[in-house]
């Protein structure tokens, strides 16, 4: 295990315990979350060594890397994913300054393929070999390993997207610097994140599926993301809900609680979460549109 000595956002080294939870998805190991006393950022600490993290994704049920899944939950995931792809395209296409997209953590490539079919020039980054291979062979996409990020031409993309990816990246500040380098001056960064401040996160606590330890190393709220952006000379220009995520995350959370019939309470709690989130735009998952400060 690797103990983080300094807060990734503010650099201070005073933390308080936030909660303990389990890797309910795979290993059942217990992990601790701490909160920075200075900036309130929450992160998993200690965490597995960087070169051991891949083992926690090694499951056919890890759906963003999986081509076929015949479970009911997998079918729900794919239906929601397809609806989300259409909504993501509408959002990105509404503010883009050009049509060159880099999608970091593109999985099996369904979103990139959709953009490509709409006339965009696309490139993907995917560390998982089998997901990357599927995207290359089945969708005929230009997808490379994560190590290729530093070899890309500076200021060469109009949009850089990370859909539920930033919370997984071991070197958080290094990744933010890469984004700054690769984005052109008029471009936008689009980041989707689970929201630790959402109503369903508060309801489920340690059982909230959005924690997903240890794959999720960081647990953002809107305010702590803003602090990270400020540190890297970026600013938020828009935030939008991913409303479907409240239902899916609630379903997983109900399963972690070992409910015998999880579907009805998951639907009710997802509905309630979205309703309560309307008050302050504080949904289970959020899309953040970001630009560089000028």
Q: What is the pLDDT of residue 65?
A: 44
Q: What is the pLDDT of residue 193?
A: 98
Q: What is the pLDDT of residue 96?
A: 73
**Run means of pLDDT, 10 residues per run, the chain, 294 residues:** 97 98 97 98 97 90 54 64 86 88 96 96 95 95 95 96 97 97 96 98 98 98 98 96 94 95 96 96 97 91
Q: What is the pLDDT of residue 71?
A: 59
- Angstrom CA distances, 272 to 19, 188, 205, 209, 217, stand at 24, 32, 16, 17, 27
Q: Which CATH class is domain 62-292?
A: alpha beta
Give the integer Cα–Cα distance in Å for 218 and 44.
Answer: 6
Lookup: tokens for 265: 């309470």
What are the strands, taking DSSP E only, across 195-247?
A: 218-219, 234-241
């Amino acid at each position: 295990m690797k103990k983080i000595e300094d807060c990734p956002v503010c650099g201070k080294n005073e933390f308080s315990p936030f909660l303990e939870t389990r890797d309910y998805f795979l290993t059942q190991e217990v992990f601790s979350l701490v909160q920075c006393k200075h900036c309130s950022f929450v992160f998993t600490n200690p965490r597995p060594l960087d070169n051991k993290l891949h083992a926690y994704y090694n499951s056919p049920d890890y759906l963003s890397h999986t081509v076929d899944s015949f479970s009911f939950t997998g079918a729900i995931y794919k239906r929601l994913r397809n609806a989300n792809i259409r909504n993501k395209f509408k959002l990105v296409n509404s503010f883009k300054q050009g049509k060159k997209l880099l999608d970091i953590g593109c999985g099996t490539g369904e979103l990139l393929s959709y953009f490509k079919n709409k006339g965009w020039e696309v490139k993907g980054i995917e560390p998982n070999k089998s997901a990357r291979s599927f995207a290359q062979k089945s969708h005929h996409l230009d997808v490379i390993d994560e190590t290729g990020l530093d070899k890309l031409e500076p200021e060469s993309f109009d949009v850089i997207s990370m859909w539920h990816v930033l919370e997984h990246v071991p070197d958080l500040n290094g990744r933010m610097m890469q984004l700054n380098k690769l984005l052109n001056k008029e471009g936008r960064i689009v980041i989707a994140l689970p929201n630790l401040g959402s109503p369903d996160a508060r309801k489920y606590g340690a059982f909230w599926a959005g924690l997903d330890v240890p794959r999720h190393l960081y647990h953002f709220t809107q305010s702590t993301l803003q602090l990270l952006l400020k540190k890297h000379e970026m600013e938020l220009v828009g935030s939008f809900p991913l409303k479907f995520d409240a239902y899916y995350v609630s379903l997983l959370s109900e399963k972690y609680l070992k409910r015998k019939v999880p579907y009805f309470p998951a639907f009710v709690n997802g509905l309630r979460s979205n309703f309560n989130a309307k008050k302050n735009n504080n949904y289970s998952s959020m899309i953040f549109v970001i630009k560089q400060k000028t």
